[in-house]
Amino acid sequence: MTLTNQFPKTQRILSILASTAALTFSFWIPPTLAADPFGRGNTHNIGNNTEAAFNAAFKDGNYKEATRYLSAAESSEPNEPLVYALQASFAYTAQDWNALKLYSAKTLTVAQQLTRTDPLRGNLYTAVGHFLEGGYKFQQEGALSALGKLQQGFPYLDEAKKIDANDPELNLINGYIELILAVNLPFSDPSQAIRQLEKQAKPSYLANRGIALGYRDLKRYDKALEFVNKALQETPNNPEVHYLKAQIQTSKGNRQKDRALLESAKKDFQLALAKPDQLPKGLAAQIFLEQCRNQNNLDNKGRDCFALRNPIQNGSGTWGPAALPRLE
């Protein structure tokens, strides 16, 4: 696979790789009973604090709790590459490039060590480490420098597939990557990636969320709504899934001039921002910006949504629902 001559798409691809690199697991339970959200039993042992961080971030959409569990995981589960991949992903979202550099390198180092005892996950997260380092290089050095790092990751994905092409963790991460590439690169067919997520990836709520993202970007809004609703059935309190549904309804509503869809999107924006302090600040600011634009379309007002958003994006210290501007 090559990304040559696709530099305008590279930033989006890197963002998705950085996000989907951070995929995996609830409260403390004895290590011998460690659960695997990918449905594999104990064949791949993943630490309990890492599991709790995964559930907090991707099931509940609570990044504050996830960060707390990751701090514990760094000392209790230092040989789990997912710990550092999650940290790197959060750093990417926060635009903390020094932390991204640090945790990308740790992901790669620990994954390479894991290859000796768990070659499937070792190769998988070696690929992820290269992708994350590509994200750092893109931000600091540009697309040409990042391209080489991206290309280094794909052979390790291929090695993981040779070990177990049906592994649900592999199919989740690889399915996200293949889908975003297919959606953004010309002459690509996303149908195989969608089948991979739907049939082979777990947990299902993240697979369905990925499929909804793909259909959203393909502007197939009915299918996108079908799969985002499936994700919401399993994660009804996740603000990011409500945000995704609001985006889909807004896009479809604006295209079809359907006020009912915009009103429905308004409710999902409100749910997405019900607990903004549990989200990364930049994400909360972006959700607010899109909520404001949707409200402008509903009531034909000319609010300066960027000016209203900026205090959220640029603020510091403790913040939460009271800090969100009111859309009068």
- Angle at CA of residue 240, ends 8 and 302, nearest 5°: 75
Mean pLDDT over all residues of the chain? 84
> Quick check: 9 pLDDT over 70?
no
Query: What CA–CA distance (Å, rounded) separates 102 from 195?
Result: 35
C-beta of residue 312 within 8 angstroms of C-beta of residue 288: yes
Listed by start position, the domains of the chain span 8-164, 238-328
C-beta of residue 28 within 8 angstroms of C-beta of residue 48: yes
For residues 20-43, average pLDDT = 40
Query: What CA–CA distance (Å, rounded) separates 229 from 255?
Result: 20
Q: In the chain, where do the E strands start and end? A: none
* pTM of the predicted model as reported, rounded to 2 decimal places: 0.85
Asked whether the CA dihedral 294, 326, 318, 265 is positive or negative, the reply is negative
Q: What is the DSSP annotation of 107-132? A: HHHHHHHHTTT-HHHHHHHHHHHHHH
> Quick check: 111 pLDDT over 50?
yes
What are the helix (H) ranges across 115-220?
119-141, 143-163, 168-184, 191-200, 204-217
pLDDT for res 95: 86
> Quick check: 267 pLDDT over 70?
yes
Mind listing the pLDDT tens digit for each residue in 87-108? Answer: 998 998 888 999 999 999 999 9
pLDDT for res 145: 78
For residues 203-220, average pLDDT = 92
Most confident of 183-192, 259-268, 305-314: 259-268
> Quick check: 324 pLDDT over 80?
no
Query: What CA–CA distance (Å, rounded) separates 202 from 210?
Result: 11
Query: What CA–CA distance (Å, rounded) separates 280 from 78?
Result: 24
Mind listing the pLDDT tens digit for each residue in 220-264? Answer: 999 999 999 999 999 999 999 999 999 999 999 999 999 999 999
